[in-house]
Amino acid sequence: MAKQLANAREKIERAQQHIEDKRLGSKQAIEQLEKEYQNMAIERRDTDKHNEELRAEADEVDRKVSHDLSHPLARYNPCPDGRSS
């Protein structure tokens, strides 16, 4: 009877240790995923900022091209003193 009790206690201790190991592994996995998520959020923010800057540059180029196309002869019409405008 004492042997059975000792075996049962040992089995319970192993099960508890297994549970604790799993809990620790899960906690570490969650922490790793949280770090990766934070890094992805930072990268996404930086990419969004860069994309916004590129869009602003493209808008500026479009504005200049539209202006130049709406005044196509302005560059080629000489001023009265003979210089280009």
DSSP collapsed to 3 states, 17-79: HHHHHHHHHHHHHHHHHHHHHHHHHHHHHHHHHHHHHHHHHHHHHHHHHHHHHHCCCCCCCEC
pLDDT value at residue 9: 97
Model pLDDT, residue 77: 59
Q: What does the pLDDT look like over 1-31, one tens digit per residue?
A: 899 999 999 999 999 999 999 999 999 999 9
Q: Is the pTM of this model over 0.95?
A: no
pLDDT greater than 80 at residue 73 = no
pLDDT at position 70 is: 79
With a cut of 80, say whether residue 83 has pLDDT above it: no
